């Protein structure tokens, strides 16, 4: 072959490589409202920044007629790119090639970019659209998953990892996303489950559709397996770019400073809310909006365990993690799901040097047999563990109620909060004065000639002597009591002053978090 022919040959190979599978399969992909693996990468990253790795690799299997099914890249596109000028590593499964199924070489390509992401300490993003383990390759496929899982685990806490589910993600394939930090799903085109509707029907007799079982709504609201739900792929890509802008590239960096910081509008909503009766529900989003840089709140898992609100926001340009009780749902109690949600978020923040701010209005852990039998002790302990373990700056703002074990999780100096700021409307105690009066003054109330009056007097006495924040402040459990107008400036100064905090811990392999 002449040299010029060799160059032509390479060009034609590259054309084939870049066209993915059969054109009819590409059409079918588009008809479902899905982009191809390469189109997805193009939309996600800075224009022209993607460099593909290992694009000539092909399947090596020979059984089941696989020799006739050789595709360059083996059904996945992998490489590195920039997002707002910062490096990331990507794999994007190509459903038009063998249904994006994962065989030996397909897995090897993904594992290699994961390894490079770890070595270069930059985030890993996987776009999943796959029929799962490639059946023809048997144990080689399973071995490939094992490599990917192991890399997910090695990367955990070192670099942020993101999964975008944009098609089927069934069986063991769902476990790689589950081992990453944030999972996106696009509504109606994606399904994620361990066993599908047919198996469920055969084993348990239940009838359920693919979407009901494993769609974005099921995981966003019920299972809590995912973090973000989007209507279409473009919206998910734009959101991931935004999320990455809040985060450091790895655990050795601090998050980037946003410039310029845009302060929130002054609405005096906190003062209005706190002026109401302490039993009145309100939306804690309004509190967050008034305190953090304008429109900077990026909520995580917004539809799951809505009794706690978690997410990232900026405070004078710095990234902070927010964990806030939400009185609008279940009175803001900590239950099994909200404890899991809060603890996982806190651990992410701690791993990636993001200060944590809590907003506290919590009557306690959730009572009930469902909670007790479901393991609220074990799950609730996760919140305690996550906060106690975290060495990043931890600042609590007590808005109203901070009762019992939930006070310890959300706002206690003893568990390691660096600053505890309280509004004058705070009540900090083992339980609310009303409940407490019924227990410790039961006899006085029963024997009184006017039980109602005695009860009210005892409640007042408890508030005066025990629950009000000046008592907590006088003992040093609360740093200071703030006017609502001072919270933002106090938070900014607290985060700034604690930014160089170093907290040493006894050496150990790892703790044994209650799971």
Q: Provide the 10 A C-beta neighbour count for residue 206.
A: 9
Among 34, 109, 134, 458, binds ligand HXC (CB under 6 A): 134
Q: Minimum distance from CB of 168 to ligand HXC (Å)?
A: 4
Q: Does 168 bind ligand HXC (CB under 6 A)?
A: yes
If you ran DSSP here, which 8-state letter would residue 367 be given?
Answer: P
Q: Does 131 bind ligand HXC (CB under 6 A)?
A: yes
Distance between start and end Cα atoms, the chain: 63
Q: Minimum distance from CB of 15 to ligand HXC (Å)?
A: 21
Nearer to ligand HXC, 10 or 199 (CB): 199
Q: Does 99 bind ligand HXC (CB under 6 A)?
A: yes
Q: Annotate 415-473 with DSSP letters as a single string.
A: TT-SEEEE-TT-EEESS-HHHHHHHHTHHHHHHSSSHHHHHHHHHHHHIIIIISHHHHH
CA-to-CA dists, residue 70 to 17, 20, 34, 198, 495, angstroms: 11, 12, 24, 31, 55
119's tokens: 């070595």
Phi, psi of 174 (to 5 degrees): -70, -15
Q: Does 34 bind ligand HXC (CB under 6 A)?
A: no
Q: Minimum distance from CB of 347 to ligand HXC (Å)?
A: 24
Q: Does 138 bind ligand HXC (CB under 6 A)?
A: no
Dihedral sign computed on CA atoms, order 406, 407, 410, 414: negative
What track of x and - describes contact with ligand HXC for positions 171 through 190 (by CB under 6 A)? xxx-----------------
C-alpha span between 281 and 326 (Å, rounded):
9
Q: Where are the alpha helices (DSSP H) in 77-189?
A: 104-119, 138-155, 175-178
- Assign residue 365 a region: left if phi > 0, alpha if psi is -120 to 50, beta otherwise? beta
Nearer to ligand HXC, 172 or 256 (CB): 172
Nearer to ligand HXC, 39 or 434 (CB): 39
Q: Does 101 bind ligand HXC (CB under 6 A)?
A: yes
Residues 6+ apart with CB under 8 A from 110: 76, 78, 91, 102, 126, 144, 148
Nearer to ligand HXC, 105 or 250 (CB): 105
User: Of 167-175, 224-232, 261-269, 336-344, which segment contacts ligand HXC by CB under 6 A?
Assistant: 167-175
Q: Minimum distance from CB of 14 to ligand HXC (Å)?
A: 23
Instruction: Return the beta strands (E) in 7-101 as ranges.
Output: 51-52, 76-83, 86-93
Number of residues that bind ligand HXC (CB under 6 A): 16
Q: Minimum distance from CB of 24 to ligand HXC (Å)?
A: 9
Is 224 a catalytic site residue? no
C-alpha span between 107 and 103 (Å, rounded):
6
User: Of 74-82, 165-173, 380-388, 471-479, which segment contacts ligand HXC by CB under 6 A?
Assistant: 165-173
CA-to-CA dists, residue 271 to 323, 402, 426, 486, angstroms: 20, 18, 13, 11
Residues 72 and 58 sit within 8 Å (Cβ to Cβ): yes
Q: Minimum distance from CB of 177 to ligand HXC (Å)?
A: 12
Q: Minimum distance from CB of 160 to ligand HXC (Å)?
A: 23
**Considering 172, 388, 404, 435, which one is annotated as catalytic?**
172
User: Of 7-15, 33-41, 164-172, 283-291, which segment contacts ligand HXC by CB under 6 A?
Assistant: 164-172
User: Of 129-137, 222-230, 331-339, 424-432, which segment contacts ligand HXC by CB under 6 A?
Assistant: 129-137
Q: Which of 460, 458, 459, 478 is nearest to 470 (CA)?
A: 478
Q: Does 326 bind ligand HXC (CB under 6 A)?
A: no
Among 26, 37, 83, 98, binds ligand HXC (CB under 6 A): 98
Residues 84 and 245 sit within 8 Å (Cβ to Cβ): yes
Q: Does 248 bind ligand HXC (CB under 6 A)?
A: no
Residues 6+ apart with CB under 8 A from 271: 484, 485
Nearer to ligand HXC, 216 or 288 (CB): 216
Active site positions, annotated: 171-172, 405-406
What is the binding site for ligand HXC (CB under 6 A)? Answer: 98-99, 101, 131-136, 142, 145, 168, 170-173
């Amino acid at each position: 072959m002449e040299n010029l022919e060799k160059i032509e040959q390479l060009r034609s190979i590259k054309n084939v490589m870049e066209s993915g599978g059969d054109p009819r399969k590409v059409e079918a992909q588009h008809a479902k409202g899905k982009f191809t693996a390469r189109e997805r990468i193009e939309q996600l990253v800075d224009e022209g920044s993607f460099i593909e790795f290992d694009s000539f690799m092909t399947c090596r299997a020979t059984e089941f007629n696989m020799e006739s099914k050789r595709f360059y890249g083996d059904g996945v596109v992998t490489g590195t790119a920039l997002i707002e000028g910062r490096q990331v590593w990507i794999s994007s499964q190509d459903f038009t090639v063998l249904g994006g199924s994962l065989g030996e070489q397909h897995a090897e390509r993904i594992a290699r970019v994961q390894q490079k992401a770890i070595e270069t300490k930059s985030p890993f993003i996987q776009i999943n659209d796959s029929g799962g383990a490639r059946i023809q390759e048997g144990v080689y496929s399973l071995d490939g998953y094992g490599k990917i899982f192991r890399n997910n685990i090695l990367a955990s806490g070192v670099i942020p990892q993101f999964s975008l589910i944009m098609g089927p993600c069934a069986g063991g394939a769902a476990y790689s996303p589950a081992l990453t930090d944030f999972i996106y799903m696009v509504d109606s085109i994606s399904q994620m489950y361990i066993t599908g509707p047919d198996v469920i029907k055969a084993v348990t007799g239940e009838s359920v559709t693919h979407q009901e079982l494993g769609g974005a709504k099921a995981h966003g609201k019920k299972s809590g397996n995912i973090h973000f739900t989007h209507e279409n792929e473009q919206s998910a890509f734009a959101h991931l770019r935004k999320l990455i802008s809040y985060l450091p590239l790895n655990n050795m960096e601090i998050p980037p400073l946003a410039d310029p910081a845009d302060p929130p509008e002054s609405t005096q909503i906190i003062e209005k809310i706190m002026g109401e009766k302490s039993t009145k529900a309100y939306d804690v989003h309004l509190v967050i909006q008034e305190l953090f840089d304008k429109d900077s709140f990026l909520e995580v898992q917004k539809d799951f365990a809505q009794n706690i609100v978690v997410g990232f926001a900026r405070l004078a340009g710095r990234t902070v993690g927010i964990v806030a009780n939400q009185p609008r749902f279940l009175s803001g109690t900590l239950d099994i799901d909200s404890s899991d949600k809060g603890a996982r978020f806190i651990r992410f923040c701690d791993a990636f040097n993001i200060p944590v701010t809590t907003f506290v209005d919590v009557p306690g852990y959730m009572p009930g047999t469902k909670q007790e039998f479901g393991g609220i002790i074990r799950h609730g302990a996760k919140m305690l563990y996550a906060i106690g373990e975290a060495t990043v700056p931890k600042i609590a703002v007590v808005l109203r109620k901070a009762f019992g074990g939930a006070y310890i999780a959300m706002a206690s100096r003893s568990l390691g909060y660096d600053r505890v700021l309280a509004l004058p409307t705070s009540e900090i105690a083992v339980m609310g004065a009303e409940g407490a009066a019924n227990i410790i003054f039961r006899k006085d109330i029963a024997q009184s000639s006017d039980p109602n009056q005695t009860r009210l007097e005892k409640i007042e006495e408890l508030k005066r002597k025990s629950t009000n924040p000046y008592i907590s402040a006088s003992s040093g459990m609360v740093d200071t009591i703030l006017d609502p107008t001072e919270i933002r400036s106090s938070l900014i100064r607290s985060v700034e002053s604690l930014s160089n905090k170093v907290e040493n811990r006894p050496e150990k392999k790892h703790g044994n978090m209650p799971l």
